[in-house]
Amino acid sequence: MSKLKLFFGGSFDPIHNGHILSAQQLVEATQAADITLLPNALSPLKQQQHCSTEHRRQLLELALADYPELLLDWREVERGGRSYTCETLQELAAQYPQQHIGFVMGLDSFNQLDHWRDWQKLCDYAHLLVIARPGYQPALSQMLKAWLADKQSHQVADLHQLARGKVYFCQLQPMPISSTQLRKQLATHSLEPELSSQLPGAVLEYIIEHKLYGA
């Protein structure tokens, strides 16, 4: 059994197929034991949430009902306030001392990593896995490049052999879907047909029924 447990953090406002397909592909690409979506209460780098925590919770649960292999962890929502990943990874590392934690983020998030609280400590608790995102190229500050130099790994085997400390760029099929774009489409009532390929059906139905995001 693999020791690698992946955690995929985000606002999921709303969750979309880019999140779901990336999560599924990551498990396969890294041979991880499992992957858990880790919704935040409030992202330190975002101004606001666009629907209530309760609606986001419903959307995530509806979305994942069809994907029992994808797990959910509500600790950041339960903690409330701004969600600082370093605090969460410290907690996870203490909770799973026999396992290797891999924290997943898109390249857009990694480009801004040096704005995160205690970012230089993240690899004290976990590996970081970075996935490509259409429309984003690596744009790292000098400080981030220097930090990355002795951490970047080109071999997935490192994530299994070492407990923490590596940054691995994972090649997945790129998916041009974002919550920002979806919110814009929903607000302008461009409901069909692309939306149904970008969101799980039950998520789209719930959004329309509850008139979320201006739908």
Closer to ligand ATP by Cβ: residue 40 or 153: 40
**200 contributes a contact to ligand ATP by CB under 6 A:** no
Q: Least distance in Å: CB of 109 to ligand ATP?
A: 4
Contacts of 110 (CB under 8 A, 6+ apart): 128, 130, 138, 140
Near ligand ATP in 94-133, by CB under 6 A: 105-106, 108-109, 131, 133
Distance (Å, whole) CA 19 – CA 101 = 19
Give CB contacts under 8 A, 24+ apart, made by 108-114: 108/133, 108/136, 110/138, 110/140, 111/136, 111/138, 111/139, 111/140, 112/45, 113/144, 114/141, 114/143, 114/144, 114/147
The piece of 15-23, 66-74, 112-120, 145-153 that touches ligand ATP (CB under 6 A) is 15-23
- To 5 degrees, how large is the angle CA 77–CA 58–CA 55? 70
Closer to ligand ATP by Cβ: residue 134 or 157: 134
Closer to ligand ATP by Cβ: residue 43 or 153: 43
The piece of 7-15, 69-77, 116-124, 206-214 that touches ligand ATP (CB under 6 A) is 7-15
Contact footprint for ligand ATP (CB under 6 A): 10-13, 18-19, 22, 105-106, 108-109, 131, 133, 175, 177-180
